[in-house]
Each structure stands twice: as structure tokens, then as C-alpha cells.
Structure 1
Amino acid sequence: MTSGRLAGIARHDRPRGPISTVDEVDVTVREGVHGDYRGALKPDGPRKRQVSLIAAEDWAAAMAEIGETPETLEWWHRRANLLVSGVTLPRRDGARIMIGDNLVIEVVQECDPCSRMEEIRPGLKAALTPEWRGGVLGRVLTDGTIKLGDEVRIEE
């Protein structure tokens, strides 16, 4: 098992809505990241895409490719919920990501960058495309409250 740290938490309450960053948040099976519109359960069952994660190292590589730095174009522009550092996110469905004391997220697929990335910065979509650089999407298996600095563990 490999481990890293939780370096960022972000959410948005509606499609194309403004991103807010927080230091701590509840993440549950019922609603995903509290306050984020994507994670809530649908009337017909659980959502496949509840939480999105990106690795700080992948974001930095994408920024270098387009001539930016992570400081000039911050990670939350990716519209991901969680930024992890010091660990490679799994590149296969079914892998588990544990954060803090209790949260367990199951990877369900690659987070393919969309055309919105081109609106943010030309070339960003292409820079996020190789080798799952855009991150992963997951579903919550076990509820947990997470905070910046929490340990992130990968179970392949």
C-alpha cells in the first residue's frame, strides 16, 4: 500500500458554479462531498461519479506542458474535488483510496478532461489527457470526515 497526503478540497453547488475550497468536509455515500452537486444520490440509485480526485504531481506536469505553474493556474480550476500529493492515483477501476480515519472511495473510471478545460486555458485538455493525468472518478463506500493533511492510502 502506498500513501500520500490530502492537499486540497474543493466543491461547487451547481453545474458551472463557482468553486469553493475548504479545509475540512464530510464525504458520505448519500451525498458525496458535502456541498458538491455531483455526489448526491439519484432517486433511482447511487451515482457512479461521486468524487473526483487529481494528483498534485499530475497537475504540475500538465501545467509545465502548457507553460503555466500550479501557482498561476490553481488545481481547483480542474473542477476536481480532492487534490492528493505524494501518491500516484490508481489507474484501474475497483482500486480503493482511503483518506483520513474512515473514508473509502472506490475508483470507477478515469476522469477524462472535457471541453471546459479548453475554456479555462487553451491546451489544458490535451495536457490532462495522457496517462490518466486528469485524475480519477470514484464512488464513496464508507463515510468519513476529511481535512487537509490527512493521510491518503492506495489499495490496489
Structure 2
Amino acid sequence: MSGTVTAVSRNATYAFSKPNHPTINLLAGLGVEDDVHAGRTIRHQFRMTYEPDLPNLRQVHLMHAELFDELARKGFDVSAGRLGENITTRGVDLLALPTGTLLRLGGQAVVEVTGLRNPCAKINDFRPGLLGEMFVLDPDAEEFTFKAGVMAIVRHGGPVTPGDTVTVELPPTPHRRLERV
């Protein structure tokens, strides 16, 4: 299974969206160089207040461009970086990956998928009504499917650029389903 990087984004300050860049550099064990969420411990503004010493399982946020296509069909104008993701992909079903999946990005960088992004209320501040599109109830399982991308940690650093190949390496079985992190 493989796909493509369509955009890369970072922001050195806390803001909902992240500007696109020609390239980003991933740092092993830290995240995206010059991004506010990079660090060994939690960098999420809200969670830092009560869990500041926990490991940062949200070093890199990946989003599937197919979500933007779906949102456009529903009248929402959303593009890469606008929902705060660092890496936008196409052709990989990120939400279906098991915990521990390795994603090889380009020629050097490798991230390990740690879980699903938990969509927050700020999404509605960005576009009213958008939060309701970030999850769907599975009536059979009586569970929500979160669609706001996946979070990862950096296992091997390196540059990531639009056009880079995304190669998926599944972990050994039994696979663990992604949960919110």
C-alpha cells in the first residue's frame, strides 16, 4: 500500500491552521522542526496544563486529502494545513491503519502512527458546522469514527516534500485498532 504526500505544513506559534511550505524536516523523537507541537512531551496547549510530562504521541499530524474532497462536496472549503495538519496525503486510508503502522515518507523520514486525532470545538470556529463532519456514528458498532486524521511520532528524521511517496508498513499481528490520542 502506498500513496503520495500532497502538502506539508508547519507553524512555530499556536494557531488553528498551519501554513504550507515547500518542505518540512522531521526530527527523530521530536516532530516537525520549527513546529509548535514538536517535543518529547505533550505540546497540545490544553493538555499541557494537566499532563505536561506525558510523552508526546502527537508529534506529527497527518490528514488524508480525500477528506477535503468529501468536505467540498458538502459545501466546506478546506485545504491542506487549514485543519492544523503537518502532512497531507492522498491514496492511503490513514483512518484504517492499525496502531504502530510505520509510514515511510520520501527517502528518509519514518513516522509511527500512534492514534486518531481527537477533533476539537475550534473546528467550528474555523468553519461553522464543520465539527459535525469530523466524526460519524457507526450504528452497528455504536461507536464514532473520527475523520480528522492520525497522529504519529517520528522514528527516523528527514525532509518531507509534496510529491514524496508514502509507503505503509503494517505492524505484526494482531493489529490494534486506532484510538484517540
The normalised TM-score by structure 1 is: 0.87
**TM alignment of 1:44-59, pairs within 5 A:** 46-59=55-68
Would the alpha carbon gap of residues 45 and 115 (structure 1) be closer, same or farther in structure 2, given more than 3 Å must change? closer
Counterpart mapping for 1:120-139 below 5 A: 120-130=126-136, 131-139=145-153
Matched, 1:119 2:145: no
Larger displacement relative to structure 2 (95-104 or 18-27): 18-27
Residues 11, 34 of structure 2: 8 Å contact kept? yes
Name stretches of at least 5 consecutive residues in structure 1 with no aligned partner: none
Provide closer, same or farther for how the CA distance between residues 149 and 40 of structure 1 changes in structure 2, counting only shifts above 3 A.
Answer: same
Q: Which amino acid aligns with 1:80?
A: E
Are residues 111 and 44 of structure 1, via their aligned partners in 2, closer, same or farther at CA, if it must alter by over 3 Å?
A: closer
- Secondary structure at the aligned position of 1:98 is classed as strand
Deviations 1:45-90 (A, max 9, x none): 852110000000122213323x12xxx4323211111100122114
Separation in 2, partners of 1:60, 1:141: 30
Matched residue, 1:106: 112
How far apart in 1 are the matches of 2:103 and 2:65? 16
Q: Which residue of 2 aligns with 1:23?
A: 22
Give the superposition deviation at 1:95. 1.2
Q: Distance in 2 between matches of 1:121 and 1:144?
A: 33
Moved over 3 A (4+): 42-46
Cα displacement (A) at 1:9: 0.6
Call closer, same or farther: CA 1:30–1:96 in 2, change over 3 Å. closer
Q: Which one has a bigger Cα radius of gyration?
A: 2
Separation in 1 of the partners of 2:17 and 2:11? 6
Q: Which runs of 5+ in 2 are unaligned?
A: 42-51, 137-144, 171-181
Which stretch has the larger CA shift, 102-111 or 72-81?
Answer: 72-81
Letter in structure 1 aligned against 2:26: V
- More helix by percentage: 1
Partners in 2 of 1:10 and 1:115 — Cα distance?
Answer: 21
Aligned to 2:12: 13
Name whichever of 98-107 and 33-42 sits farther off: 33-42
Give the TM-score normalised by the residue count of structure 2: 0.75
Partner Cα distance (2:12, 2:29) in 1: 15
**Cα drift, residue 17 of structure 1:** 6.5
Q: How many aligned residue pairs are there?
A: 151
Q: Which amino acid aligns with 2:23?
A: E
Contact 2:30 2:153 in 1 (8 A): no
Q: CA RMSD in A?
A: 2.0
- Determine the structure 1 residue equivalent to 2:83: 78
SS at match of 1:4: strand
- Percent of pairs with identical residues: 26
How far apart in 2 are the matches of 1:123 and 1:22?
A: 28
Q: Does the C-alpha gap of structure 1 residues 17 and 110 become closer, same or farther in structure 2, counting only changes over 3 Å?
A: closer
